């Protein structure tokens, strides 16, 4: 395996890792938004 291939494989793995991280963040943010939205609705119902 030459250095170029190694670097390419590393870059690809890094890119995939970043994409996974973005997906996790998006999911987390969506979940947080939903949770906050529900909380907001409940607060308005109680008042």
Q: What is the DSSP string of the chain?
A: --HHHHHHHHHHHHHHHHHHHHHHHHHHHHHHHHHHHHHHHHHHHH-
Q: What pLDDT tens digit does each residue of the chain (47 aa) get?
A: 577 788 888 899 999 999 999 999 999 999 999 999 999 998 898 77
Position 5 scores a pLDDT of: 84
Position 47 scores a pLDDT of: 72
Residue 7 and residue 40: Cα distance in Å, rounded?
48
| Vertex 12: Cα angle to 27 and 10 (nearest 5) | 120
Q: What is the pTM of this model?
A: 0.58
* Residue in the block written with tokens 């890792």: 17
* Residue in the block written with tokens 């109680």: 46
């Amino acid at each position: 395996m030459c250095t170029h291939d190694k670097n390419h494989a590393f870059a690809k793995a890094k890119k995939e890792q970043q994409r996974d991280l973005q997906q996790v963040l998006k999911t987390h943010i969506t979940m947080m938004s939903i949770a906050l939205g529900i909380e907001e609705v409940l607060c308005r119902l109680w008042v």
